[in-house]
Structure 1
């Protein structure tokens, strides 16, 4: 069998495809860090949104429990603790800044604040965002 020399066109195509592979590798190396930041940033943002929503739900349920007739702050705090524990929220604080709800008269405002730090509640251990404390504050009128 005789070897047929390749034409100049075929040789040019081979050189072009080899160069193109190199260009694709460089483009990938340049774009990869940006894509990684977008993915991890999205995960972190979704985690913070979930944390804020969990705090809002816990504060709402705590205040609803506290303002009922014959109920007190301890009942509301227990309700918030159960919700936040079920959602795996860490290091949270439940407080009633204007005092005991049981002592409030009908029509008085009752306030609850639920706070939690972002660093201990981040799936990425707060690598990309500095620690902040998120707080949900709910005000309702005593029944």
Structure 2
């Protein structure tokens, strides 16, 4: 089949329209894709912070626990999802047999933990804290 010059001209003008449509739609598509990635990462950070606070408190309420054990347990959970720059605060800083409650607070900056350029959550920090009552009993050795 032979293509006439008229058909060729009509096809080439459509090619220009396709390029213009792509030039308009491509940035919007990339914006939605990167926004979805950033929102997913922030949600993942939020869940990890909640879990690290809980695991840290669980480690601190057992007899024989120390503040270093509590912080190590919280950081272990944070390190599993490659979260950096987190601040872990254990209250009281020295856990004794007379301590009734253990509190753990974790704060994570989103700027240092974003997978893409932080556009939607610039200068934002995700924080959580939890207080649990200590268990009473014989002291044990916690690794």
- Normalising to structure 1: TM-score of the pair? 0.79
* Equivalence for 1:32: 26
Whether the 8 Å contact between 1:67 and 1:101 is mirrored in structure 2 is no
Deviation at 1:128, TM superposition (A): 4.9
Whether the 8 Å contact between 2:57 and 2:132 is mirrored in structure 1 is yes
Write out aligned runs for 1:1-143 (5 A). 11=6, 13-97=7-91, 100-102=94-96, 103-105=98-100, 109-143=101-135
Tell me, in whole angstroms, the C-alpha distance in 2 between the residues paired with 1:71 and 1:51. Answer: 26
Structure 1 segments of 4 or more deviating over 4 A? Answer: 97-101
Q: How many residues align?
A: 132
Tell me, in whole angstroms, the C-alpha distance in 2 between the residues paired with 1:30 and 1:125. Answer: 22
Structure 1 gap ranges (5+): none
Structure 2 gap ranges (5+): 136-143
Deviations 1:37-86 (A, max 9, x none): 11111111111112111111111100000011222322111111222223
Deviation at 1:23, TM superposition (A): 1.2
Give the number of the structure whose alpha-carbon radius of gyration is greater: 1
Deviation at 1:96, TM superposition (A): 2.8
- Normalising to structure 2: TM-score of the pair? 0.79
